[in-house]
Each structure stands twice: as structure tokens, then as C-alpha cells.
Structure 1
Amino acid sequence: MVRWIVAVVLILIVVFFVYVNFANKAPEDLGVTDGFLKACPSTPNCVSSQADIEDSAHYFEPIVYFGTRKETQLKIESYLLNQGRARIVKSELGYVYFEVKSKLIGYIDDVEFYLPEGDSVVHFRSASRVGYSDRGVNRERIAQVRELLADQTN
């Protein structure tokens, strides 16, 4: 009986990791379209500066920055890359897209930053690809970037 239970548990674990691997495919519609990043899904595992301000589950104020657009984008890129689990998928002046992998299971979050020309603000979208809740990971990641950009000594 114990062997059957162990076998079933192992099969469930394998199925779970296969599911995560297949569900972790990158969305094809990311990027900036007419000045906007993709909207957050209905699940609470996404934050965006361009979500409706009344949508407290998803909305997070844009980040105001000082300095040049290029310097700011380089600070963001350097910071996330130094965290050790991020990789840049696309980078051009004014837009950068990262994939950030979780430590344990390998969930992937899509993290985008948009710095419109002529405006000292960073818009962002940080969203989990899989699951329902992210336990505030995406919001915390953006809060750390906000703190980094608020510190003018960097």
C-alpha cells in the first residue's frame, strides 16, 4: 500500500513539473502598443502602472525618475540582472523586457519597463505566467526598483 502511495505522489510531482514547463511559455503579445503595455489578467499575480487606478489588486503607481532615460533604463537592467535569476529578452532605448525565474519551482514572470520619450516616468508590468497568486512577489519586485530609482546616490 505504501508503495502505491509513493508511486502516486511521484507521478503527481512529475505531472506538476511537466505542467509548469508547458505553461511557462512566453506570451506573444508583450511590448508597447500605442503607448500601453499589455493589460493584467484577472488573476492577482500581476501589477501594472497602466492598470485602472481603481483596480487595487493590479494598479501600482508609475515610477518617477530623475536623470536621463538611458541612465535610468541601464540602472533597471543592471539591478535585475544582478539579482541572478533574470535575463533580458528584449532591450531598446525606452523599453526592456525580462524573464525572471523563481528559485524553487522555476515559475517565470514577465517583467516589462516602458520609459516614454519626453516623460520622466517608468511604466511597468510584472506578471506571473502560471498560477493564481504570486504572494506579492511582482509588487515587491517593482517596489525594489522604485526604491533603487528614488536613491539618487546610485
Structure 2
Amino acid sequence: MIRWVVAVLVVFVIGFLVYVNMNNKMPEGLGTTEGLLKLCPASPNCVSTQASPDDVDHYIDPIVYTGDAKETQLAIEAFMLDQDNARIVSHTLGYVHFEVTSQLIGYVDDVEFYFPEADSVVHVRSASRVGYSDLGVNRKRVAQVRAMLGE
């Protein structure tokens, strides 16, 4: 009996890891299009400063900064890279895209920062690639960046 339970658990774990690996591919359409980041999916595992404020599952306030946009972008990049589980995927002046990998299972989140030229705000989209809920991880990540910038 115990052998069957162990066998079922092993099959479940292997199946779960295969599922995560197959669905951890980078989504299409990341970046900005006419000043807008990609919309969040319907699932509550994404936050965005460009979601509708009425969308309580997805909306988060933009990060307001003072000073130079380039210096702010560099500060955010350094902060994210100090987390040891983030890597830059795409980087231009005014936009940066990170992949952040969870320590235990290897879930990947896409975290984008957009710095519009006309405003002193940072727009953010932080979204999990796999799963339905992120247990608040993406919202917490944006709060940490906000706190680092002293807002």
C-alpha cells in the first residue's frame, strides 16, 4: 500500500514539474505598444499600473519618482539584480524587462518597468507565467521597489 502511495506521489510531482516547465515560456506581446504595457490576464497573478483602477485584483499605483529617469531606472535595475533570482531580458533607456525565478519550484515572473518621457512615474507590470494565484508575490515585489525608491 505504501509503495502505491509513494508511486502516485512521484508521478504527481513529475507531472507537476513537467507542467511548470512546459508553461514557463515567455509570453508574446511584452514591452510597450504606444506607451502601454500588455494587459494582465483574467487570473489574479498579475499587477499593473496601467490596469483600470476599478480592477482591484490587478491595479497598483504607478511609482512616482523625483530626479532623473535614467538614474531611477539604474537604481531599479540594481535593486532587482541584487535579488539573486532576477535577470534582465530586455533593456533600453526607458524600459526594462526582468525574469524573476522562484527559488523552490522555478516559477518565472515577467517584471516590466516603463518610464514615459513626459511623466515622472514608473509604470510596472509584474505577472506570473504559470498558475492562477501568485499569493501576492507580484504586488509585494512592486511595493519593495516603491520602498527602495523612498516613495
Tell me how far apart the structure 2 counterparts of residues 150 and 6 of structure 1 sit (CA, whole Å).
50
Please give the root-mean-square deviation of Cα atoms over the aligned residues, in Å: 0.8
In the alignment, which residue of structure 1 is the partner of 2:9?
9
Superposed CA deviations along residues 31-51 of structure 1, whole A, max 9, x for unmatched, are 000100000001111000000
* Runs (4+) off by over 6 Å: none
> Are 1:44 and 2:44 counterparts?
yes
CA distance in 1: counterparts of 2:44 and 2:35, whole angstroms = 23
Distance in 2 (alpha carbons) for counterparts of 1:93 and 1:149: 18
Aligned-pair CA distance for 1:2: 1.6
1:25 is matched with which residue? 25
Distance in 1 between residues matched to 2:121 and 2:80, nearest whole Å? 18
Please give the secondary structure, in 2, of the residue aligned with 1:25: coil
Q: CA deviation at 1:54?
A: 0.4
1:93-120 CA distances to partner (integer Å, 9 max, x unpaired)? 0000000000110000000000011210
- Give ranges in structure 2 of 5+ residues lacking alignment: none
Q: Deviations over 1:4-60 (max 9, x none)?
A: 221111011001001100110001210000100000001111000000010011000
**Long gaps (5+) in structure 1:** none
Residue number in structure 1 paired with 2:58: 58
For 1:123, what is the secondary structure of its paired residue?
Answer: strand
Distance across 1 between alignment mates of 2:140 and 2:9: 33
**Structure 1 segment 1-154 matched on structure 2, within 5 A:** 1-150=1-150
- CA deviation map 1:78-102 (0-9, x unaligned): 0000010000000000000000000
CA shift for structure 1 position 67: 1.2
Q: Calculate percent identity across the aligned residue pairs.
A: 64
CA deviation after TM superposition for structure 1 residue 146, in Å = 0.6
Aligned length: 151
Deviation, 1:150, is: 1.9
Using the size of structure 1 for normalisation, the TM-score is 0.96
Distance 1:20 1:83 in 2: 22
